[in-house]
Amino acid sequence: MSANKSRAELLAELEDWAKGLSNDILKLKEPILEIPSRTLSNTIWDEKNKILKLGSEKIHRKFLDVKEARRFMQTMLMLRLIVEAMRADVFPTIRDLYYNGKHTINFNFLGRKYRENTWDEQSESNAVIEDIEVATNILREEMGVSADVKGKIVGPIIVRSQGYELDASKFGETALSLPVNVDALEIVKVEANYVLVVEKDAIFQRLVREKFWSQEGAILITAKGMPDRATRRFVRRLNEEHKLPVYVLTDGDPYGWYIYSVYKSGSIKLSYESERLATPNAKFLGLTATDIDSYKISDNYVIAANDRDVKRAQELLRYPWFQKPEWTREINLFLKKKKKVEIEALSTHGLKFLHDYLRDKIRGSKFID
Amino acid sequence: MSANKSRAELLAELEDWAKGLSNDILKLKEPILEIPSRTLSNTIWDEKNKILKLGSEKIHRKFLDVKEARRFMQTMLMLRLIVEAMRADVFPTIRDLYYNGKHTINFNFLGRKYRENTWDEQSESNAVIEDIEVATNILREEMGVSADVKGKIVGPIIVRSQGYELDASKFGETALSLPVNVDALEIVKVEANYVLVVEKDAIFQRLVREKFWSQEGAILITAKGMPDRATRRFVRRLNEEHKLPVYVLTDGDPYGWYIYSVYKSGSIKLSYESERLATPNAKFLGLTATDIDSYKISDNYVIAANDRDVKRAQELLRYPWFQKPEWTREINLFLKKKKKVEIEALSTHGLKFLHDYLRDKIRGSKFID
């Protein structure tokens, strides 16, 4: 973890890594990259810490191996692009890096001419960025790589970015958009009772305008559906550094439940990041399959599940991080009734019922851990 | 236009509209709703003002017409829900309103029993909200209806929301998320040279982190692709109230060009809103089809257009608001070469070339009006 290192220190670490490799070459030793393996088989469920993470398998990428020379070249090319960007104080996007490094290499071998592209697809250049992240333990955010940012927040919290203090309790009907690199965001002061993560942006807007957060002393966060890295990291920091309970509110369907699990346990694709991104003690507020009965949501407001929902629910049942009696009961109830329900269906009991529901769940500890 | 009316005044207007109808009923007069027609045939291109807008056709929705009674009922139901929400100071989403009004009406007619849903799909309840907007000239944002908000800004501008001043030049690497109702956002002070609207969020993040906006004295705005109503309205206000030039930067493909035209001229679906949302003198900075040659973007960074791109370009050629020599030339060049190019392809000339490109286009007035 390198949360508190300066940009200059991080740059020096990347340069040192490269120097080690070039020293090997100068000593006529074969350069080898040792990189934790990011395959599905090396993704494990850490029962004790309740997160998805990478196992101990490592790959040794050898320059003098014809199967690996291309990927070795790509890794060195990407490292050069990133180091150059950091030196020049620019903040390329992952797509910039793809374009910036894309070119054709012409070479002769045994009398024949060859042409080879450095990479053809962005999936190749992205994979190399991830390799560099796991190999160096420095995140692309810390390297200054830009990406889409989805998260926004309001509530009793003051943060500082590049010397500017921002008090998220004084935003009126606007909100604070998170930066790409939330580790560079200093949390100056927090006076909140809990963090409420809301799947849907429009529900976030409602709760802002209806002053729910100030009545509750809650920090409200949304990432509009599946969360990005910055939002997950920020939720984690609020929980870890400030011991705030984290509650997640999503639609009552397998997609919503999966979103919750990404906040809580991490995702398969980014399992090497869970140790920084996941919030293992995040609680699920709802909506659950049981809520349909317990909150008397009329049939009129309930939606029939489609085949994709059913398939997704069956997948959830297979994930080790859903192996809890509360979750298997909910998912099996869903599979039996084949009914899903949206947050907005709570307005069947009037437009203010959402507030009552949230308070009832939190005060009564009616959440799933 | 009702930008400066209080919530109480707007509520009174809606109540008065409803009272007029109930008075008709009490006088045994048939209640009739007069609503501007939102059909494609009533959407016209206003050449003088350079916007898409509604024509003068009106529909007269009669309660005692068996074909229109259902829609009449829906309109009254929605009006009741909105008025109740305003009185209770809640801010439902359009989906809340759909659920909140959805129920089954049981009735007997000529000895037979009937069951009818108030509405079956959200498209029905949404259409009724739009009817109420055009009939009353009050926007759903002003009625307190919540929706997803995509826009975020940074730059030399101070706004005020519910008494809180927010200086968007002091956000560091974060940004200010726009509220649902940007007309309630007071623009306190603007010291900008221009507004730069950026299609892509990651490019917005780059320009924030690279301090492009402070070097240029520019307000940066993104809405991540197709803009929402709030972002379009805010861009319009900056241009109209503060006379700021507005430049739009998108990918060089028909989708990006259409996004520009939505900022500039409005959209077909929301043509009744163009007079508030469109910015007729917004300029298109790029990327254009010509840019591929004039900025020497190598073939390696250019993407072959697919059938959908071609179809979309042919559609653009038919829209009256693309009937300008500059645009027909660009679109025809695109159709001839069948090549598109992304903003990020500019990094072919180095990661700082994006800045040079933007300055060259703005300083040299190399934009399309």
pLDDT by residue (tens digit) across B279-293?
A: 999 999 989 999 999
The per-residue pLDDT for A218 is: 98
The interface pTM score, or ipTM, of the predicted complex is: 0.90
Check pLDDT > 80 for residue A3. Answer: no
Q: Please, which residues have CB within 8 angstroms of residue A323's CB and are 6 or more apart in sequence? A: none
Per-residue pLDDT band for B252 (boundaries 50, 70, 90) equals very high
**How many CB atoms sit inside 10 A of residue A321's CB?**
19
CA max distance for chain A? 79
Per-residue pLDDT band for B3 (boundaries 50, 70, 90) equals low
Record the tokens describing residue B133, joined without a space: 């907007």
pLDDT in tens, B128-157: 999 999 999 999 999 999 888 999 999 999
From-to residues of CATH 3.40.1360.10 in chain A: 192-363
The per-residue pLDDT for B366 is: 95
pTM of the model: 0.91
Q: Is the dihedral of CA A303, A308, A310, A316 positive or negative?
A: negative
The per-residue pLDDT for B2 is: 43
The per-residue pLDDT for A103 is: 85
Mean pLDDT computed over A340-369: 93
From-to residues of CATH 1.10.10 in chain B: 7-136
> B205 at the A interface (CB within 8 A)?
yes
To which residue do tokens 């020599």 refer? B325
Phi-psi region of B247 (alpha: psi -120 to 50; beta: other; left: phi over 0): beta
Query: By percentage, how much of chain B surpasses pLDDT 90?
Result: 71
Q: Residue A222 forms beta bridges with which residues?
A: A152, A198
The per-residue pLDDT for B107 is: 86
The minimal CB distance from A171 to the residues B88, B96, B161 is found for B161
Q: Is the dihedral of CA A63, A66, A71, A73 positive or negative?
A: positive
Per-residue pLDDT band for B1 (boundaries 50, 70, 90) equals very low
pLDDT in tens, B63-101: 888 888 899 999 999 999 999 999 999 999 999 999 989
The answer to whether A351 contacts B147, with C-beta atoms less than 8 Å apart, is no
User: Which residue in A189, A240, A198 sits closest to A220, CA to CA?
Assistant: A198
State the first-to-last Cα distance of chain B, in angstroms, to the nearest integer. 26
What is the CATH architecture assignment of B7-136? Orthogonal Bundle (1.10)
Span of A133-147, A234-248, B162-176 with lowest mean pLDDT: A133-147
> B323 at the A interface (CB within 8 A)?
no
The answer to whether A99 contacts B345, with C-beta atoms less than 8 Å apart, is yes
Per-residue pLDDT band for A166 (boundaries 50, 70, 90) equals very high
Phi-psi region of A83 (alpha: psi -120 to 50; beta: other; left: phi over 0): alpha
The per-residue pLDDT for A1 is: 39
Q: How many angstroms separate the CA of residue B162 from the nearest CA in chain A?
A: 5
Record the tokens describing residue B66, joined without a space: 């068996």
Average pLDDT, chain B: 92
Interface of B with A in 95-114 (CB under 8 A): 95-96, 98-100, 102-104
Fold category of B192-363 in CATH: Dna Topoisomerase Vi A Subunit; Chain: A, domain 2 (3.40.1360)
Cα distance between residue B134 and residue B279, in whole Å:
20
Q: Please, which residues have CB within 8 angstroms of residue B143's CB and are 6 or more apart in sequence? A: B10, B14, B82, B85, B86, B132
Per-residue pLDDT band for A2 (boundaries 50, 70, 90) equals very low
**How many CB atoms sit inside 10 A of residue A25's CB?**
11
